[in-house]
Structure 1
Amino acid sequence: MIDTGNKARFPVVAPNGHLASVLLAFLTTAGLFYVNIMPALVSGLVEGLGFSKQAAGHVASANVYGAALGAFVAVFAIKHLSWRPTAIAALLILIALDVFSSTITDPTLLTVMRFIHGSTGGFLVGVGFSVIARTHAPDRSFGMLLIVQYGLGGLGLMFLPKLVPLYGTQVLFFALIAFSFVTLLMVPFMGTYAPKEKTALSNESGGEDKVYLKPLVMALFAVFFFQAANMGLAAYVIELGKSFGLKTGSISTTLGLANWIAVIGAVLVYGVGTNFGRLLPLMGGLVLTVIGMILFRFSGEVGVFFAANIITGITWAFLIPYLLGMCSAFDGHGRMAALSGFFSKMGLASGPFIAAQVVGDDNYNLIINLAVSGVILCTLAAFMPARLLDQKEAAYKAPDQGVLE
């Protein structure tokens, strides 16, 4: 619904409605949309500009390491900035940087440019995460974020690899420019999103309780390990498929369809939220992730390759909203959400960077093994904070204590 009962120049959507979740999803995706087309980006640099696989991986990781830096800065800046003008400025800078990137053919220069781009985008994502954390149901909003990312990312993965041979790598950056521009048009219609006064883990005075520092740190590292494991494998999934003899057209179609099917995971989060807590869905989803990653070892069969992408795609879209929402539960200003964005981007950057160091001559089994190890570490890190939050939020919502809106 649209709220027109305000003095704003533009009508704004209801701050906690479904349409607001969509707009916030676009805002938070814009700074990091290249992650959703990362396989197309890496493959496009290899085929379109003749970069080595290692150089292409370094460009991709530099983009996300820059995003990690931007997200880290956002943790300290969000309390002192008005989010709306900050988001508009960041989007305009992103568009300019993507225009410049489309003209660069040198690996080193492009790596530097993408690091700067990532820093700006990461700051924007940190701002977006902080705003999402101020909604009534951050987990559901993060679920919508994944719906948008996977839906549009699926389009990108299906068509962009096929367009690079025809139009060059510029088409990759034009896609990013278009997304930022559309998001820019949405910003005026978003609500104000003032910080929350209290959360489930606040003490009686409304402040954060220091006793929860350990589970918070564990939750942040769970985000890091999960993102590193998934992106390290995803960045080279097109090249992995080629190493098994699959054709580019078949791989890109498979990835696009798998991404769309993976939206199921985000839809489940958006629809269910935390009705069953966080521990049960997290543990079940992580086990399925390991199974899906192991299936990549048998990618010579198109059906198995498709199944592996579907399983890992669904679990990725299903689990990351819970992990990010888990971190968001620790404060009402959105600082911990922004900090989780930093750890997320460090993971998204570290995965491709580590994979680039070990890929060598198509050493994809090692990449798969490292990805499985990362998911296991995520499982160990997530268990305690998820269980604690389930216990605390159950007490927080108890009838004798009331439910804070």
Structure 2
Amino acid sequence: MNLDLVKSYQFKEDSWQASLLLAFLASAGLYYINIFPAIIDALMQGAQLSAVEAGKITSANALGAAFGALMITLLIRLIPRWKLTAACMLLTLISIDIFTILQSSVTALVPLRFCHGFIGGALVGLGFSVIARTSKPSVAFSLLIVVQYSGGALGLWQLPPLVPIYGTYVPFYALITFSSLTLCMLPFLGAYPLPNEKLKSKKTAAVKVKPLLLTLIALFLFQAANMALFAFIFGLGKFFSHDMDFLSPVIGITNIIAILGAILAIYTGAKFKLCTPLTIALVVAVLGTWLLIFSESGAIFLVVNAVVGIAWAFSVPYFLTMAAKFDAAGQMAALGGFASKMGLATGPLVAGYLLSEPESYLLLINVATLALALCVLVAIYPARLLDKKALI
């Protein structure tokens, strides 16, 4: 095919349209995270699994994603044809989801979902590395959150009521749909080549290990604390005597409202430095999470979930942008994806064990609050260094 013809229907590499498609690419392997509560509720209500069993299955998905993100971090510079690799990964994800639906027993789901997570995590890491090569990665990372929350809101609103009608595996049809749409978007993206050796050496020499590690630890704590609660948010709501007729639309609405956080991050990322906006958002997340102990009030449950969601959607692009600043090829952005997935995997797993007794929801809220408070303390140092351009 003529190369000029191919380029004619591709978006400019630094356009907002290209950033949006990259956001879909980096979301495709992670979409199950955004509908985690719907998947867990489907497994618990549809397949009659316990919280521990459901937590193990979904955590296997997220743990596999963590290792997949780590693997791709080591291979980023060896993948010049990243679009072909991404297409193969998307087709594999679709195949595994179809195979999951065909399962008549849940015993095979742990290893099967681990494999899905591994490929999905590698795809997300690959997407992060490409985003890091753009001139404004913060825009693409913020759009990434917009895509995730929009898709998550739609899934959380519509999928739970369909499970009693169509069965346990309804959420996995949504995963297949998202991956298929993303596959159709790949041809419209540009090449985003790896940086040349001169630029690569310059950027690699500038990396400082301590602030990088602190950034990754803060991201891990943030994701683990938030996902520990979010994965069991339907159960938490039921613990405070709310029914699914209330919970499904509320969780869907708060996810839509949370998109404001990602949109705000686009604005503040262009106008202000990192430390102050990020610190404010993290403190809001700490206070909002603690206020979940008053969730017996439907109004408080709705408002607090919306506020925490906004803080979550605002902070993640900041953390990923921080990681992306450590090199030009995107390896550190992919490593940020690894830290994020480890947090997303650890949160539901720990929560599942804490919830061995129904009354443990209050304990879970307090543990998540403490983890977020620690995240604030860890994140301040690397954010300040990046603001001072100490890494350049």
The interval holding the TM-score normalised by the smaller chain is: over 0.9
**Could you tell me whether the CA contact under 8 Å between 1:158 and 1:255 is conserved in 2?**
yes
Determine the structure 2 residue equivalent to 1:392: 389
Question: 1:244 deviation in Å?
Answer: 1.0
RMSD: 1.9
**Could you tell me whether the CA contact under 8 Å between 2:194 and 2:329 is conserved in 1?**
yes
Determine the structure 1 residue equivalent to 2:233: 237
More helix by share: 2
**Could you tell me whether the CA contact under 8 Å between 1:198 and 1:207 is conserved in 2?**
no
Question: 1:278 deviation in Å?
Answer: 0.6
Question: 1:91 deviation in Å?
Answer: 0.3
Worse-matched range after superposition: 234-243 or 98-107: 98-107
**Could you tell me whether the CA contact under 8 Å between 1:292 and 1:312 is conserved in 2?**
yes
Paired residue secondary structure (1:192): coil
User: For each residue in 1:186-238, what CA deviation from the matched residue of structure 2 results, as whole angstroms up to 9, or x when unmatched?
Assistant: 00110111234599xx89x6132366110011001111000000001101110
Paired residue secondary structure (2:134): coil
Determine the structure 2 residue equivalent to 1:357: 353
Superposed structure 1 runs of 4+ greater than 2 Å apart: 4-10, 103-108, 195-199, 207-211
CA distance in 1: counterparts of 2:311 and 2:203, whole angstroms:
34
Determine the structure 2 residue equivalent to 1:91: 90
Question: 1:78 deviation in Å?
Answer: 1.4
Determine the structure 2 residue equivalent to 1:273: 269
- The answer to whether structure 1 residue 45 and structure 2 residue 48 are counterparts is no
Question: 1:103 deviation in Å?
Answer: 2.2
Question: 1:107 deviation in Å?
Answer: 3.2
Paired residue secondary structure (2:222): helix
User: For each residue in 1:130-165, what CA deviation from the matched residue of structure 2 results, as whole angstroms up to 9, or x when unmatched?
Assistant: 001001111111000000110111000111111111
- Indicate how the Cα distance of structure 1 residues 314 and 105 shifts in structure 2: closer, same or farther if over 3 A, else same: farther
CA distance in 1: counterparts of 2:373 and 2:57, whole angstroms:
27
CA distance in 2: counterparts of 1:197 and 1:273, whole angstroms:
27
Amino acid at match of 1:380: L
Determine the structure 1 residue equivalent to 2:203: 207
User: For each residue in 1:3-59, what CA deviation from the matched residue of structure 2 results, as whole angstroms up to 9, or x when unmatched?
Assistant: x99352772111111111110011011001000000111011001111111100111
User: For each residue in 1:112-143, what CA deviation from the matched residue of structure 2 results, as whole angstroms up to 9, or x when unmatched?
Assistant: 11000000100100100000100111111100
Where do 1:338-357 residues align within 5 Å? 338-357=334-353
CA distance in 2: counterparts of 1:358 and 1:198, whole angstroms:
49
Determine the structure 1 residue equivalent to 2:60: 62
User: For each residue in 1:240-263, what CA deviation from the matched residue of structure 2 results, as whole angstroms up to 9, or x when unmatched?
Assistant: 000111011210100000000000
1:376 to 367, 373, 380: 373
CA distance in 1: counterparts of 2:263 and 2:379, whole angstroms:
22
- Indicate how the Cα distance of structure 1 residues 94 and 311 shifts in structure 2: closer, same or farther if over 3 A, else same: same
Determine the structure 2 residue equivalent to 1:132: 131
Q: TM-score, normalised by structure 2?
A: 0.96
Determine the structure 2 residue equivalent to 1:164: 163
CA distance in 2: counterparts of 1:207 and 1:141, whole angstroms:
21
Worse-matched range after superposition: 8-17 or 173-182: 8-17
Determine the structure 2 residue equivalent to 1:181: 180
CA distance in 1: counterparts of 2:96 and 2:315, whole angstroms:
31
CA distance in 1: counterparts of 2:185 and 2:162, whole angstroms:
28
**Could you tell me whether the CA contact under 8 Å between 1:55 and 1:107 is conserved in 2?**
no
**Could you tell me whether the CA contact under 8 Å between 1:33 and 1:176 is conserved in 2?**
yes
**Could you tell me whether the CA contact under 8 Å between 2:203 and 2:328 is conserved in 1?**
no
2:76 to 75, 78, 88: 78
Paired residue secondary structure (1:206): helix
CA distance in 2: counterparts of 1:161 and 1:196, whole angstroms:
45
CA distance in 1: counterparts of 2:353 and 2:69, whole angstroms:
25
Question: 1:104 deviation in Å?
Answer: 2.2
Amino acid at match of 2:142: G
Determine the structure 1 residue equivalent to 2:20: 22
**Could you tell me whether the CA contact under 8 Å between 1:12 and 1:188 is conserved in 2?**
yes
Determine the structure 2 residue equivalent to 1:320: 316
**Could you tell me whether the CA contact under 8 Å between 2:207 and 2:326 is conserved in 1?**
no
**Could you tell me whether the CA contact under 8 Å between 2:268 and 2:277 is conserved in 1?**
no
- Share of identical aligned residues, percent? 44
Determine the structure 2 residue equivalent to 1:402: none
**Could you tell me whether the CA contact under 8 Å between 1:197 and 1:332 is conserved in 2?**
no
CA distance in 2: counterparts of 1:320 and 1:6, whole angstroms:
37
Paired residue secondary structure (2:308): helix
**Could you tell me whether the CA contact under 8 Å between 1:223 and 1:343 is conserved in 2?**
yes
Amino acid at match of 1:167: Y
Unaligned runs of 5+ in 2: none
Unaligned runs of 5+ in 1: 397-405
Amino acid at match of 1:45: L
User: For each residue in 1:82-123, what CA deviation from the matched residue of structure 2 results, as whole angstroms up to 9, or x when unmatched?
Assistant: 210000000000000000111224333111110000001001
Q: TM-score, normalised by structure 1?
A: 0.93
**Could you tell me whether the CA contact under 8 Å between 1:198 and 1:331 is conserved in 2?**
no
- Indicate how the Cα distance of structure 1 residues 117 and 10 shifts in structure 2: closer, same or farther if over 3 A, else same: farther
**Could you tell me whether the CA contact under 8 Å between 1:39 and 1:237 is conserved in 2?**
yes
Give the aligned length: 389
